[in-house]
Amino acid sequence: MSRRLIVDGCLSRPGFVLEAQLDIDLDHTVGLQGATGAGKTSLLRIVAGLEPGFTGYLQFGAQVWHDSAKGISVPTHLRKLGVVFQDARLLPGRTVLDNLRFAASRSPAPSCAEQLASLARDFSVDTLMGRSVDTLSGGERQRVSLVQALLTQPQLLLLDEPFSANDGDHRRQVATALSDWLNKEALPLICVSHSAQELHLLARTTLKMQAGRIVQQGATADMLRRDADDKAFGATVLEVDQLSGRATFQWDRFDPEIAELTVGDRIYVSQQPEQGSPVSAPLQPQAQQNHRKAD
């Protein structure tokens, strides 16, 4: 079955125009990257059929999902999607189990209780089953939402920052569990993420969006390397203490989206810092650093 996704059209709202031109084979998982407001979420919502203002053409595999010229628009619930929104929406006033059952009973081939239980274990929501979703933390909501999406046995998975509210270890664990599931089910995926590590883990191909357009497309590793080079930070040395090897910098270029540094953090630069001289160093994506540590 073909998994080609074609998007060709535009969505305009006051102060924002998204011109989507995309023809991509989703046999490889796809990551979506870009600054806030670049249109990543809107693109996912167009694919999901949640943007009534979209005009143009949209096709997944052999199914035409939207064709403004012919007046075709397949409603969302018939597109067989799994979607995790950034704010991890659940059905309020119900327990986690009720939420999961709601999803399971609407899948094309209703999944059994066993599958529900095993998915819940994989994404560590098995301990939350009896709780009302209104009492969950952001990270817990995201995990429940993810299990919900997988339970509908989707033909395409759309994730919008699906782990952003989970911290450190949990985040890695959930991303790994998802990556295993994707490999097992060969499920096509489009995943929006700011985290280089997650893109490495989940996406073979990455698209970069800027101001409502897709501006770059390539293998995730290449894209992230290029990204890191672009955003290499630069600083001017203010003061050097030769004895302790400590230097004080003033940042010239620094992107908080790809690195977090606080006073006292250790960084490595390629040249000997001297007072008044500029220094720069390309930032390594975190995942690469981790890989190296692991080696």
Partner 1 sequence: MNADLQAIGLTGLLAGVTTLVLVLLATPLAWWLAISRSRYRPIVESLVAMPLILPPTVLGFYLLVFLNPESVLGGIWVRVTGQSLTFSFSGLVIASVIYSLPFMVQPLQGAFRAVPISVRESAAVLGASPRDVFFNVVVPLARGGFLTGIVLTFAHTIGEFGVVLMMGGNIPGETRVLSIAIYEHVETLNYDAAHFLALGLMGFSFLSLWLIYRVAGRSAEVLRG
Minimum Å distance from CB 285 to partner 1? 31
Single out the residue of 5, 24, 38, 90 in contact with partner 1 (rule: CB under 8 A): 90
Binding test (CB under 8 A) with partner 1, winner from 3, 73, 97, 102: 102
Q: How far is the CB of 154 from partner 1 (least distance, A)?
A: 9
Q: Among residues 31, 34, 56, 82, which is the contact residue for partner 1, using CB under 8 A?
A: 82
How far, in Å, CA of 113 to CA of 78, rounded?
Answer: 24
Q: Please tell me whether residue 112 binds partner 1 under the rule CB under 8 A.
A: no
> Exactly one of 81, 119, 189, 191 binds partner 1 (CB under 8 A); which one?
81
The answer to whether residue 50 forms part of the interface with partner 1 (CB under 8 A) is yes
Per-residue mark of binding to partner 1, 135-154 (x: CB under 8 A): ----------x--xx--x--
The nearer residue to partner 1, 107 or 132, going by C-beta atoms, is 107
Residue 76 touching partner 1 (CB under 8 A): yes
Q: Does 24 bind partner 1 (CB under 8 A)?
A: no
In terms of CB distance, is 142 or 206 closer to partner 1?
Answer: 142
91 is a site residue for partner 1 (CB under 8 A): yes
Residue of 53, 55, 72, 89 that binds partner 1 (CB under 8 A): 89
How far is the C-alpha of 275 from the C-alpha of 288, rounded, in Å?
31
Within 149-208, which residues bind partner 1 (CB under 8 A)?
A: 149, 152
Q: Which is nearer to partner 1, 90 or 235 (CB)?
A: 90
Interface with partner 1, residue 131, by CB under 8 A = no
CA distances from 130 to 111, 125, 126 (A): 20, 10, 9
Give one DSSP letter per residue of the chain, joined into a string: ---EEEEEEEEEETTEEEEEEEEEETTS-EEEEE-TTSSHHHHHHHHHT--TT-EEEEEETTEEEEEGGGTEE--GGGS-EEEE-TT----TTSBHHHHHHHHHTTSSSPPPHHHHHHHHHHTT-TTSTTSBGGG--HHHHHHHHHHHHHHT--SEEEEESTTTTS-HHHHHHHHHHHHHHHHHHT--EEEE-S-HHHHHHH-SEEEEEETTEEEEEEEHHHHHHHHHHHT-EEEEEEEEETTTTEEEEEEEE--TTT----TT-----SS---TT-EEEEPPPPHHHHHHHHH-
Site for partner 1 in 237-256 (CB under 8 A): none
Residue 107 lies near partner 1 (rule: CB under 8 A) = yes
Q: Is residue 136 within 8 Å of 144, Cβ to Cβ?
A: yes
Shortest distance (Å) from residue 203 CB to partner 1: 21
Q: Give the interface with partner 1 as residue ranges (CB under 8 A).
A: 48, 50, 75-77, 80-83, 85, 87, 89-93, 102-103, 106-108, 145, 148-149, 152
